[in-house]
């Protein structure tokens, strides 16, 4: 048996030095790398046997076997894959062939970052075994060849290769583990099992843990049957038409860690310059932690069926954080770090696909099953609305998916498409009103003229609506108009215009008087053309911040200078007529200005700054009626 001693390529020596002295804490990934290499070797053997049947005798079960010896402190990873001959061992385990590892070594030279950071960023494959072992042996026999070879090294400078008979085709890697607490779990069955279940649950081939002999009840040594550690199928890798609805639902409970049924799912497979699979679920109920920053689910990222991370934030924008599921890329390196993901082109492509899949699915449900969609909208519409101010790319899709309450849809919702379709011919803009709760805005006097004209007004009361409307701008060529701002802009007949001018002149003195009394709180008092039944209302100046926005900003702890509002009075209301008479007779307006202002504040759902003063004013006016 001739033994040859060979020097590692210089780059490998650098790399191994790094592995041996590594402070990288996530050392368990070495097992993921070795299992992934074994699965690749099994793939290769199966593939080559398609054209050369001798390479894979019938009834051969392709598999990966693991065993630990807690006394000798060894861990064995064995496969019956393609195997390596002497040349392969030299070129694969003595030089750096992989582009990923080359990149790693180059970055190490160029970077001032610590090696610990870099190990986390690049796949280091087979060599990562030296993070946990002070000696590694690889016994391998290539499919189609008769003899085997033993490669062994302690990772310092050189390795040895010798001929070594091996009965079966494949590769057996024995790790002689380092001493110390950090390495103990790798020689225990439970330690190995938990690492495999974490990273390699969906590897296509069976991974079996062979047990150490133990004493049974009779005091005899006994070896239990090997345990298969991965029994789950990577559902997302199967073709959609082979999967039953029940299987999708069952997988949802595993992947989402949530009860209940999903609203829908989308299963895609992309091929071409990049190959990846996505299986994304839209929950029907809001996940319990949807408003918490440290949400833990999201999308799981796999590379070649090997688990990489939970909740991969780069695959989903925050406004789709309710989405659950799996993304599996064939092209990403195994050891992608969070930093790399942020600027990775593959991730950008997958992310686009995921967003499109989810938005398309929601649009489909909205059009096919409106009731189901409305129920979902009540649960999660608020999260989707965040998309309006977080990005511009998907505004068109989001506009179509958004539902609104309105003056015409009492318990149901309306969409913008429906709103526009139902607009009377003379209506030019889309009207909306924002306030704190739907009931108070629905009763706002501001809406009177719009109801009178049969114009629908969208009623918005989610905290996020103010931000959403700022991004909305237009739909189907129609601008959005906040009805609590500025003047009404309906087209008026000559007669209406004349009547308005006449009212302005008639009510000039009353407006001036009210303005003087309320000057501290009111910017202007003017005659309204929007009121029908109420005596007065408050509106916001076109350029000023809305009252709702002011309230939200102060709730967020921001200092806000409140802008003064405009008080509009109804020239056709008996109270205003009576006050106009009082002015003509040079009588005092007594407590009427306070009463009018107070009720305008209450009618829009706001709180009075001084409720006591308002109650006193009302009581005085009511008492006067008793005499």
Ligand X SMILES: Nc1ncnc2c1ncn2[C@@H]1O[C@H](COP(=O)(O)OP(=O)(O)OP(=O)(O)O)[C@@H](O)[C@H]1O
Binding residue positions for ATP: 33, 37, 79, 84, 99-100, 121-126, 171, 338
Which is nearer to ligand X, 67 or 406 (by Cβ)? 67
Residue (of 341, 304, 311, 308) closest to 325 by Cα position: 311
Cα–Cα distance measured from residue 257 to residue 293, given in angstroms and rounded to the nearest whole number: 18
Residue appearing with tokens 């305008």: 600
Question: Should residue 264 be labelled a site residue for ligand X when binding is judged by CB under 6 A?
Answer: no
Binding mask 59-88 for ligand X (x = CB under 6 A): --------------------x-xxxx----
CA atoms within 13 A on the CB side of 151: 25
The residue assigned the tokens 């608020």 is 382
**Smallest separation (angstroms) from ligand X to the CB of 169:** 10
**Shortest spacing between CB 128 and ligand X, in angstroms:** 8
Which DSSP category does 8 fall into?
Answer: P
Of 24-32, 98-106, 280-288, 484-492: span binding ligand X (CB under 6 A): 98-106
Nearer of residues 333 and 435 to ligand X, judged by Cβ: 333
Q: How far is the CB of 304 from ligand X (least distance, A)?
A: 8
Query: How many residues bind to ligand X according to rule CB under 6 A?
Result: 22
> Minimum distance between the CB of residue 343 and ligand X, rounded to whole angstroms?
19
Which of 98, 103, 211, 564 forms a contact with ligand X (CB under 6 A)? 98
Return the number of the residue (130 or 251) whose C-beta is nearest ligand X.
130
Binding-site string for ligand X from residue 152 to residue 171, where x marks contact by CB under 6 A and - marks none? -------------------x
Backbone angles phi, psi at 18, to 5 degrees: -65, -45
Number of CB atoms found within 10 A of residue 476's CB: 12
Whether 27 contacts 178, CB under 8 Å: no
Query: 205 or 432: whose CB is closer to ligand X?
Result: 205
What residues are designated binding site?
33, 37, 79, 84, 99-100, 121-126, 171, 338
Secondary structure in 3-state letters for 247-258: HHHHHHHHHHCC
Task: Using the minimum distance from each CB to ligand X, give the nearer residue, 98 or 438.
Answer: 98
Pick between residue 126 and residue 480 the one whose CB is nearest to ligand X: 126
Angle between helices 189-199 and 29-51 (to 10 degrees): 60
Question: Binding residue for ligand X (CB under 6 A) from 126, 176, 389, 413?
Answer: 126
Q: Per-residue x/- marks for ligand X, 297-336, CB under 6 A?
A: ------------------------------------xx--
Quote the least distance from Cβ 171 to ligand X, whole Å. 4
Q: With respect to ligand X, which residue has the nearer C-beta, 309 or 320?
A: 309
46-70: buried (b, 16+ CB within 10 Å) or exposed (e) per residue?
beebeeeeebbeeeeebbbbbbbee
Euclidean distance between CA atoms 521 and 166, whole angstroms: 94
Going by C-alpha positions, the residue among 16, 3, 66, 19 that lies closest to residue 39 is 66
- In angstroms, the CA 223 to CA 317 distance is 51
Helix axes 547-555, 465-472, angle to 10 degrees: 130
CB of 13 vs ligand X, minimal distance in Å = 15
Residues contacting 174, CB < 8 A, separation 6+: 74, 75, 76, 136, 137, 138, 139
CB of 62 vs ligand X, minimal distance in Å: 12
**The only residue of 6, 9, 100, 564 in contact with ligand X, by rule CB under 6 A:** 100
Per-state percent for the chain, helix, strand, coil, to nearest 5: 45, 20, 35
Site string for ligand X, 20-49 (x = CB under 6 A): -------------x--xxx-xx--------
Give the footprint of ligand X on this chain (CB under 6 A). Answer: 33, 36-38, 40-41, 79, 81-84, 92-93, 98, 100-101, 123, 125-126, 171, 333-334
């Amino acid at each position: 048996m001739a033994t040859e001693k060979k020097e590692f390529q210089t780059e490998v020596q650098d790399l191994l030095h790094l592995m041996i002295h590594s402070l990288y804490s996530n050392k368990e990934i070495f097992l993921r790398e070795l299992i992934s290499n074994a699965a690749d070797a099994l793939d290769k053997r199966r593939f080559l046997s398609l054209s050369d049947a001798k390479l894979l005798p019938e009834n051969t079960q392709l598999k990966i076997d693991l065993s630990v010896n807690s006394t000798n402190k060894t861990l064995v990873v064995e496969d019956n894959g393609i195997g390596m001959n002497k040349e392969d061992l030299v070129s694969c385990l003595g030089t750096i062939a992989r582009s990923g590892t080359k990149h790693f070594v180059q970055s190490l030279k160029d970077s001032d970052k610590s090696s610990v950071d870099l190990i986390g960023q690049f796949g280091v494959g087979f060599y990562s075994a030296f993070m946990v072992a002070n000696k590694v042996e690889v016994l391998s026999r290539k499919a189609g060849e008769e003899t085997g070879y033993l490669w062994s090294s302690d990772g310092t400078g050189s390795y040895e290769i010798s001929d070594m008979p091996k009965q079966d085709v494949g590769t057996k890697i024995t790790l002689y583990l380092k001493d110390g607490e950090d390495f103990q779990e790798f020689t225990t069955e439970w330690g190995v099992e938990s690492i495999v279940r974490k990273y390699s649950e969906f590897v296509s081939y069976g991974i079996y843990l062979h047990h150490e002999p133990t004493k049974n009840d009779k005091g005899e040594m006994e070896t239990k049957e090997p345990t298969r550690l991965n029994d789950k199928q990577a559902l997302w890798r199967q073709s959609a038409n082979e999967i039953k609805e029940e299987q999708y639902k069952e997988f949802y409970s595993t992947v989402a860690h949530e009860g209940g049924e999903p609203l829908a799912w989308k299963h895609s497979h992309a091929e071409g310059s990049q190959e990846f699979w996505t299986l994304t679920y839209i929950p029907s109920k809001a996940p319990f932690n949807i408003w918490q920053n440290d949400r833990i689910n999201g999308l799981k990222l796999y590379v070649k069926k090997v688990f990489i991370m939970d909740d991969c934030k780069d695959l989903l924008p925050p406004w789709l954080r309710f989405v659950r599921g799996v993304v599996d890329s064939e092209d990403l390196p195994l050891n992608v770090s969070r930093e790399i993901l942020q600027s990775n082109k593959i991730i950008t492509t997958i992310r686009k696909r995921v967003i499109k899949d989810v938005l398309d699915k929601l649009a489909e449900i909205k059009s096919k099953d409106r009731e189901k969609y409305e129920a979902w909208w009540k649960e999660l519409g608020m999260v989707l609305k965040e998309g309006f101010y977080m990005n511009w790319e998907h505004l068109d899709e989001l506009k179509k998916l958004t539902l609104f309450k309105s003056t015409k849809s009492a318990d149901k919702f309306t969409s913008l498409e429906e709103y526009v379709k139902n607009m009377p011919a003379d209506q030019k803009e889309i009207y909306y009103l924002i306030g704190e709760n739907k009931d108070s805005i629905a009763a706002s006097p501001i809406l009177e003229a719009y109801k009178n004209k049969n114009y629908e007004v969208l009623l918005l009361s989610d905290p996020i609506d103010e931000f959403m409307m700022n991004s909305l701008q237009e739909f189907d060529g129609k601008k959005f108009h906040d009805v609590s701002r500025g003047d009404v802009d309906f087209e008026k007949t000559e007669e209406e215009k004349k009547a308005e001018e006449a009212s302005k002149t008639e009510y000039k003195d009353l407006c001036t008087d009210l303005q003087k009394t309320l000057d501290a709180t009111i910017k202007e008092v003017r005659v309204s053309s929007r009121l029908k039944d109420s005596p007065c209302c408050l509106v916001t100046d076109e350029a000023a911040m809305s009252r709702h926005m002011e309230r939200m900003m102060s709730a967020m702890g921001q200092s806000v200078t409140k802008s003064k509002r405009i008080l509009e009075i109804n020239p056709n209301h008996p109270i205003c007529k009576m006050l106009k008479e009082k002015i003509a007779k040079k009588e005092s307006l007594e407590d009427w200005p306070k009463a009018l202002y107070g009720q305008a504040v209450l009618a829009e759902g706001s709180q009075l700054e001084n409720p006591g003063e308002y109650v006193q004013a009302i009581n005085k006016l009511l008492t006067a009626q008793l005499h």
